[in-house]
């Protein structure tokens, strides 16, 4: 990965300060201690990218795509696979989306610290970065996946970039306010669903023609464009949560979550994430099902994500050796933007009608093992592609294009 600028020198008066080397996107932010790369950031980013596929793969393997997936949230699979499906879906549901969101916030904090040490004003030219990320997301939404998160991250990142220029007290207030808005909306949604008469719920959706199974690549692009508002509702709904998690990620980074002195902070995050949130999330999501999946995805899952963040940070502080698995995750993390898009392209090609069209050919009784197989194959291909690419190049292909475009627009 080509890095922008030279490494900042560690201040001799405070050996705890980390030098950050910045690349251009929030998905690429890198931190190093002295001359050594901080492994936890790349590994966490790789976990988040492959983890989000653990949720999205169920969309690809549904014959009705996202429409069928939303209709079937919390429903049971047949032929003895019901509990396997529920458990697998709940393990991934929301945790890695939350982790990816927090990682973007950490990336913003590192970028701001680097700009300050270099004497550059903040947010400076960050709006150009946000605009490019939004364009990436728009293209990804139209051409690849209607559940794209990059557009929402671009808008959130632009807002949070300016919030990070305010005082610590103001940022705490924004975290509290954004969390309060998110909890209020979740509560109102819970009340609406609780008092909704059962007979008002619509029948499962049907698509005739079905662009996922029968349409061409461009038919699916047109379908996404025609239903853009419906498909973008989640990005609007989670905006307050995203603002809170971005700011929280920045604050955790500055509080030392990746440093030795952050042991107490990491311990509390793991207690809350694994000891409290994870059991509640699992029980409610698996045994409650139905509409309750919404409240685990947007309520308990972000706390579990914080536990994952703390656990990985603690592991690599104890033993900075990356190992084989860590190296593969790190490579995915270093090419995160490319891998995020590529994994959706691969899964779409395998499952949708414009490719092999396998999703429509699999019986409902075989849906769960088929989904597991698609996930395993896609992950294997992604990991191999990232490894082989980084043997010859320093940044992913999308990251390279993004970097060149940014430099041209920003005049750097």
Tell me the C-alpha distance between 142 and 139, whole Å.
5
| Torsions phi, psi for 236 (to 5 deg) | -70, -45
Tell me the C-alpha distance between 320 and 313, whole Å.
10
Please count the helices (runs of H) and the strands (runs of E) in the chain: 19, 3
Question: What pLDDT score does 61 carry?
Answer: 96
- The distance from CA 21 to its chain's CA centroid, rounded to whole angstroms, is 22
- The distance from CA 242 to its chain's CA centroid, rounded to whole angstroms, is 11
Q: Counting beta carbons within 10 angstroms of the beta carbon of residue 1, is it exposed (0 to 12), middle (13 to 18) or buried (19 or more)?
A: middle
Q: How many CB atoms are located within 10 Å of the residue 303 CB?
A: 19
Could you tell me if 309 and 367 are in contact, meaning their C-beta atoms sit under 8 angstroms apart? no
Tell me the C-alpha distance between 37 and 394, whole Å.
14
Strand order in the sheet with 30-33: 19-21, 30-33, 36-37
Tell me the C-alpha distance between 108 and 156, whole Å.
11
How is the chain split into domains, by residue range? 19-410
pTM attached to this predicted model: 0.88
Give the torsion through C-alpha atoms of 98, 103, 108, 112, to 10 deg.
Answer: 140
Structure tokens belonging to residue 201: 């719920």
Question: What pLDDT score does 11 carry?
Answer: 39
Tell me the C-alpha distance between 294 and 174, whole Å.
24
Can you give the C-alpha Rg of the chain in angstroms?
Answer: 21
- In 196-300, which residue ranges form alpha helices assigned H by DSSP? 217-226, 228-231, 233-237, 239-254, 263-270, 278-283, 292-295
Q: Which residues of the chain have pLDDT under 50?
A: 1-26, 33-35
Question: What pLDDT score does 15 carry?
Answer: 35
Give the E-state strand segments of 308-406 in sequence order: none
Name which of 318, 31, 353 is nearest 214 in CA terms.
353
Q: Counting beta carbons within 10 angstroms of the beta carbon of residue 321, is it exposed (0 to 12), middle (13 to 18) or buried (19 or more)?
A: exposed
Sequence-distant (6+) residues with CB within 8 A of 207 are: 64, 67
Please state, in angstroms and as integers, the Cα–Cα distance from residue 226 to each residue in 209, 219, 222, 230, following that order.
14, 10, 6, 9
DSSP of 299-327: IIHHHHHHHHHHHHHHHHHH----HHHHH
Q: Counting beta carbons within 10 angstroms of the beta carbon of residue 127, is it exposed (0 to 12), middle (13 to 18) or buried (19 or more)?
A: middle
């Amino acid at each position: 990965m080509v890095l922008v600028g030279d490494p900042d020198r560690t201040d001799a008066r405070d050996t705890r300060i980390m030098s950050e080397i910045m690349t251009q996107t929030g998905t690429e932010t890198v931190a190093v201690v002295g001359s050594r790369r901080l492994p936890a950031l790349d590994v966490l980013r790789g976990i988040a990218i492959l983890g989000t596929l653990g949720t999205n793969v169920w969309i690809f393997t549904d014959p009705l795509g996202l429409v069928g997936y939303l209709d079937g949230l919390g429903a049971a699979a047949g032929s003895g696979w019901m509990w396997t499906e529920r458990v697998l879906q709940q393990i991934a549901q929301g945790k890695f989306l939350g982790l990816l969101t927090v990682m973007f916030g950490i990336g913003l904090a590192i970028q701001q610290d680097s700009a300050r040490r270099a004497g550059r004003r903040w947010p400076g030219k960050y709006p150009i970065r946000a605009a490019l990320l939004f364009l990436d997301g728009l293209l990804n939404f139209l051409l690849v996946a209607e559940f794209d998160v990059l557009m929402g991250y671009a808008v959130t990142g632009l807002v949070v970039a300016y919030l990070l220029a305010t005082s610590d007290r103001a940022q705490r207030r924004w975290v509290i306010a954004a969390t309060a808005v998110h909890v209020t909306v979740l509560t109102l949604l819970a009340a609406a669903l609780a008092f909704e008469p059962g007979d008002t719920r619509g029948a499962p959706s049907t698509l005739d023609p079905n662009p996922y199974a029968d349409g061409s690549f461009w038919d699916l692009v047109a379908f996404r464009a025609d239903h853009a508002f419906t498909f973008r509702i989640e990005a609007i709904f989670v905006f307050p949560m995203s603002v809170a998690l971005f700011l929280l990620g920045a604050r955790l980074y500055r509080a030392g979550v990746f440093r030795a002195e952050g042991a107490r902070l990491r311990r509390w995050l793991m207690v809350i994430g694994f000891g409290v949130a994870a059991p509640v999330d699992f029980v409610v999501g698996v045994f409650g099902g139905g509409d309750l999946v919404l409240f685990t995805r947007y309520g308990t899952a972000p706390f579990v994500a914080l536990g994952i963040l703390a656990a990985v940070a603690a592991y690599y502080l104890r033993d900075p050796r990356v190992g084989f698995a860590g190296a593969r995750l790190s490579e995915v993390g270093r090419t995160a933007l490319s891998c995020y898009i590529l994994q959706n392209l691969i899964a779409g090609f395998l499952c949708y009608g414009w490719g092999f069209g396998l999703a429509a050919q699999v019986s409902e009784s075989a849906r769960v093992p088929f989904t597991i197989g698609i996930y395993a194959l896609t992950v294997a291909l992604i990991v191999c592609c990232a490894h082989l690419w980084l043997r010859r190049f320093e940044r992913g292909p999308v990251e390279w294009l993004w970097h060149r475009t940014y430099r041209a627009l920003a005049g750097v």
